[in-house]
Chains A and B, each alone.
Chain A
Amino acid sequence: MQYEQKRETAIPFWRDERILRVLGQVVFVALVVFVATLIYQNMKAGLARQGISLSYAFLKNLSGFDIAETAFPYSRNSAYWQAFLIGLLNTLLVSVVGIIFSTILGVILGVARLSTNFIINRLASFYLEIIRNLSLLVFLIFWYLGVFLKLPRVKEATPWLGDIILTNRGVGIPWGIPTASFPTFRLILFLGLLFALVVFFALREYGKRTGRAPLTLVWSFLAFLLVALIGWFVLPERPIVADLAFVKGLNLSGGKILSPEFMALTSGLVLYTAAFIGEVVRAGIQSVSKGQIEASRALGLNSFQTLRLVVFPQALRVIIPPLTSQYLNLVKNSSLAIAVGYPDVFYVSNTIQNQTGRAVEMISLVMFTYLVLSLATSALMNWYNQRIKLAER
């Protein structure tokens, strides 16, 4: 005892780990603070030389520039913050559409990679090898300049696949126009949604009580569809009439016109991300051991049941985390819109920054926006991941 005490007091303070820890952190924090203040001072001095002070007040000023694609009414008399908001909405649009379509295509690619059919299998892996080794920027620029801007001119355009018109001024697709009875129909759709939710929870309760596994989602969807169909035919007037795109003079008219920029960016992102999602899906399905499939067949499940009840839930656990990072990549990669001239949040901010010279403010604002988007996406996916995670006992 005495000996130990002696030894402990014998440790000089510069070798005492507890003191060293505190000291190390103090030194580290001091260093970080020192560098940060140095940078801040330099920045302030530099801005003062240019006669600028840091402030976000300029966001209320008139923007004075036009944006090609706007989600809400916007003109050059609107304020900078409205322009920024338009960009943000465009980014969200591209991200959501991109995530939906790249997931669909990615799942198809992943399944194709596992197909026993030689040609399908090879085609999918060939596609993957090509896309994976390309630079996304080069791919997007090529896709925009080399494909979408080289489509036939409006005059020479011919409808394709029914009623889709491909031209170098944009792609026209059929779209619905709401009529007078549309508000009522919307109400009916809402009721259908409620009905579907009721079916969903009832079936889940039934599944929990009996231990069977009803096709909850399918039945819920069918319930929704049923209500929607009844509404469609009961109403005296069709709630939506189809509106085809057509060529009018030198421009497209009617329907919905998707600009070449939007098409190039979204489809390029989808084609690129889908290749990576395909790999994620393939790895997920392969991670389910063969014994699981054999065991479920031995229990008498048919191949659809095996897939739905055994393979899919287990594969999903492996798939979700890497899938999340692919979604995050897609959201971040949508900032390459600037290369094809699509007014997303980064492109609009860059324009604002060029006009006002407020580099520090705009860049920090954009970085903050993307950070929030990323955190929101990963929070959503983490929540989903928590739900499907293996309940360990």
Chain B
Amino acid sequence: MKKTYTIDVDCANCAAKMEDAANKVDGVKAASVNFMALKMKVEFEDGVEPNDVMKNVLADCRKVEPDCEIFFE
């Protein structure tokens, strides 16, 4: 399953770090962050609940960039 989320982040390098962090979260098959469009595309593993996974994605992204935001609910 693939979903696109709106994000908010200030710098391009931070966006790249978020992408790295998101890709390491369990349940995420592949994630890509588009800084210019402020969008995060996430492809989930089969059988996971996107919102549960996204909570962890946000938590891990906050670790690399405290200011970031992902709108998933």
Chain B binds chain A? no
Chain A residues within CB distance 8 Å of chain B:
none
